[in-house]
């Protein structure tokens, strides 16, 4: 652990290795990591389940305050130390809590990748079926349930997704993929826009638009905040070491503040668009049925095929759409895979290829558990949750608040507001510095502890939402 021997002066030096070629390269990589299944699959189902407009409002408030504060913090700490999370934390000393803080950040992507790839596998399956011209079958009510109950087919699709990600990583072509996503992303946005307009103009859809956009305080519960917070971490790839790593590659003249603002709005824009595609359609096609609104992870796969089917040319639209979602999912999975690999290489001293194989092995193992949890092992419940839901809850609602808390403690106790401001101001005006300090000092730690305690209490059944 070479970084432990570094002096404070060394820490502030820019790291020349592996810097992004320019601002655009950085924004593409961060946006590629941020925009993925979290926006298109996860955000709409959470918004549908946890109160619609009130969820959206809380999400936006959290994104602009908390989200901003954490993105800036992680990126600045990464750039300041030139290290990924474990190294970044240990640049400030050898205390045990610093070690723990770094490691919890680093472990989360290793736990997300497996179940992320299971959903990636669902996208593979839908793309394949659209290409074969099966749009009508996909739009039927029981299709999705039948598919995930069939463990063998789900396992094959899941394995295809992880293995594809693995090959991208070992071939070292992820930069190429990020560049191609520069073309794919705008097409995805246009197609999502067309589908959203179609969706919201269906008869009966207006009730859904209202449900999604107008906050109704009667739908508020503490779980709305817990879910919105977890989603914000997930969608912006926060509290899991990614932005430390990307920040460590960032040049000193790259404007952290401007990049942050662009990425957070782009990411949120895509999520809102996905919400407009899916939630009004639930009202138009299922009459706003509560059971459908609360369908959870399956929502996108149940609702979108119905929308496409009624649009005409469903096989073509479905193929193009799921191809693009697959691409967005792949760029996110690449960043999860790459960060996991670099932690193993840098911190455990394992060579790159064996590290890739370790991550592949863990993913296949834990992902298979999630696949079976919906099929052969359907009866298994962990704290009342199915396996995939459990991993999602464990990482988003339990581990991420803890890892974000450690970032806050690192700043409050070791780096100081001045340290962060000095780093940010190398390249930015830091217009929101007042808000940053306020959130970091008075809101973040307290709020994170409340979120964490409510997640624990809910899982133990002490409180119900």
**Rounded to whole angstroms, how far apart are CA atoms 348 and 344?**
5
Site for ligand PFF in 109-138 (CB under 6 A): 109, 112
Quick one: 106 or 225, whose CB is closer to ligand PFF? 106
Among 165, 315, 335, 403, binds ligand PFF (CB under 6 A): 335
Is the C-alpha dihedral spanning 24, 325, 84, 357 positive or negative?
Answer: negative
Pattern of binders to ligand PFF over 2-41, x per CB under 6 A? -------------------------------xx-xxxx--
Residue 261 CB, nearest distance to ligand PFF (Å)? 17
Quick one: 39 or 319, whose CB is closer to ligand PFF? 39
Cβ proximity of 400 and 233 under 8 Å: yes
Quick one: residue 315, left, alpha or beta (phi over 0 = left, psi -120 to 50 = alpha)? alpha
CA angle 312, 317, 319 (to 5 degrees): 135
* Stretch near ligand PFF under the rule CB under 6 A, chosen from 152-160, 232-240, 246-254, 285-293: 232-240
84 near ligand PFF, rule: CB under 6 A: no
Q: Could you give the C-alpha distances from 231 to 44, 56, 201, 441, in angstroms and in order?
A: 10, 11, 28, 22
Quick one: 130 or 234, whose CB is closer to ligand PFF? 234
Cβ proximity of 74 and 251 under 8 Å: no
What 8-state DSSP symbol labels residue 204? T
Quick one: 63 or 139, whose CB is closer to ligand PFF? 63
Closest by CA to 327, choosing from 36, 15, 77, 31, is: 36
Quick one: 270 or 411, whose CB is closer to ligand PFF? 270
Quick one: 177 or 414, whose CB is closer to ligand PFF? 177
Cβ proximity of 58 and 350 under 8 Å: no
Quick one: 120 or 318, whose CB is closer to ligand PFF? 120
Residue 37 CB, nearest distance to ligand PFF (Å)? 4
Residue 241 CB, nearest distance to ligand PFF (Å)? 8
Site for ligand PFF in 35-74 (CB under 6 A): 36-39
What is the number of the residue whose Cβ is closest to ligand PFF? Answer: 38
Site for ligand PFF in 90-109 (CB under 6 A): 109
**Rounded to whole angstroms, how far apart are CA atoms 184 and 35?**
12
Residue 236 CB, nearest distance to ligand PFF (Å)? 7
407 near ligand PFF, rule: CB under 6 A: no
**Rounded to whole angstroms, how far apart are CA atoms 436 and 216?**
29
Largest CA distance in the chain: 66
**Total residues at interface with ligand PFF (CB under 6 A):** 17
Quick one: 91 or 237, whose CB is closer to ligand PFF? 237
Among 234, 249, 391, 447, binds ligand PFF (CB under 6 A): 234
Q: Could you give the C-alpha distances from 378 to 218, 284, 386, 438, 460, in angstroms and in order?
A: 34, 31, 8, 46, 21
* Stretch near ligand PFF under the rule CB under 6 A, chosen from 140-148, 292-300, 332-340, 408-416: 332-340
Site for ligand PFF in 240-269 (CB under 6 A): 240, 242
Quick one: 112 or 205, whose CB is closer to ligand PFF? 112
Pattern of binders to ligand PFF over 346-365, x per CB under 6 A? --------------------
Cβ proximity of 415 and 398 under 8 Å: no
Closest by CA to 239, choosing from 79, 91, 347, 104, is: 104
What are 385's strand-pairing partners?
382
**Rounded to whole angstroms, how far apart are CA atoms 108 and 233?**
11
3-state secondary structure of 132: coil
Contacts of 297 (CB under 8 A, 6+ apart): 41, 42, 45, 119, 388, 389
Among 332, 355, 386, 396, binds ligand PFF (CB under 6 A): 332
Residue 26 CB, nearest distance to ligand PFF (Å)? 15
3-state secondary structure of 226: helix
**Rounded to whole angstroms, how far apart are CA atoms 20 and 249?**
6
Among 165, 235, 355, 407, binds ligand PFF (CB under 6 A): 235
Residues that bind ligand PFF (CB under 6 A): 33-34, 36-39, 109, 112, 234-235, 237, 240, 242, 332, 335-336, 339
């Amino acid at each position: 652990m070479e970084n432990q021997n570094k002096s404070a002066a060394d820490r502030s030096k820019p790291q020349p290795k592996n810097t992004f070629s320019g601002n655009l390269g950085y924004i593409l990589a961060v946006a590629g990591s941020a925009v993925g299944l979290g926006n298109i699959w996860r955000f709409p189902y959470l918004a549908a389940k946890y109160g619609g407009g009130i969820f959206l409002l809380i999400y936006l408030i959290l994104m602009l305050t908390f989200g901003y504060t954490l993105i800036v913090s992680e990126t600045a700490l990464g750039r300041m130390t030139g290290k990924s999370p474990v190294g970044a934390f240990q640049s400030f000393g050898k205390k045990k809590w610093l070690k723990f803080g770094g490691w919890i950040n680093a472990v989360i992507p290793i736990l997300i990748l497996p179940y992320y790839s299971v959903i990636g596998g669902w996208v593979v399956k839908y793309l394949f079926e659209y290409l074969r011209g099966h749009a009508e079958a996909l739009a039927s009510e029981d299709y999705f349930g039948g598919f995930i109950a069939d463990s063998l087919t789900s396992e094959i699709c899941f394995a295809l997704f992880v293995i594809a990600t693995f090959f991208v990583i070992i071939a070292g072509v992820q930069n190429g993929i990020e560049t191609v996503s520069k073309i794919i992303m705008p097409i995805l946005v246009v197609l999502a826009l067309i589908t959203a307009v179609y969706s919201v103009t269906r008869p009966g859809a207006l009730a859904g638009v209202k449900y999604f956009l107008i906050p109704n305080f009667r739908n508020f519960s503490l779980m709305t905040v817990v879910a919105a917070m977890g989603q914000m971490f997930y969608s912006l790839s926060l509290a899991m070491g990614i932005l430390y790593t990307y920040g460590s590659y960032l040049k000193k003249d790259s404007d952290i503040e401007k990049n942050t603002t662009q990425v957070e709005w782009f990411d949120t824009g895509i999520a809102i668009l996905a919400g407009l595609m899916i939630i009004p359609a639930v009202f138009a096609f299922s009459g706003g049925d509560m059971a459908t609104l609360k369908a959870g992870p399956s929502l996108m796969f149940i609702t979108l095929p119905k929308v496409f089917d009624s649009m005409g040319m469903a096989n073509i639209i479905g193929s193009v759409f799921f191809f693009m979602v697959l691409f967005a999912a792949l760029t996110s999975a690449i960043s999860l895979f790459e960060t996991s690999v670099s932690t193993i290489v840098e911190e455990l001293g394992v060579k790159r290829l064996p590290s890739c194989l370790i991550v592949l092995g863990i993913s296949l193992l834990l992902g298979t558990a999630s696949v079976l949890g919906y099929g052969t092992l359907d009866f298994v419940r962990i704290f009342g949750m199915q396996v995939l839901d459990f991993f999602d809850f464990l990482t988003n609602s339990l581990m991420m608040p803890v890892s974000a808390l450690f970032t806050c403690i690192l700043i409050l106790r070791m780096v100081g507001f001045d340290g962060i401001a000095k780093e940010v101001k190398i390249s930015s005006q830091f217009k929101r510095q007042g808000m940053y300090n306020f959130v970091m000092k008075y809101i973040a730690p307290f709020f994170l502890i409340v979120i964490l305690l409510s997640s624990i209490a809910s899982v133990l059944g002490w409180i119900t939402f």
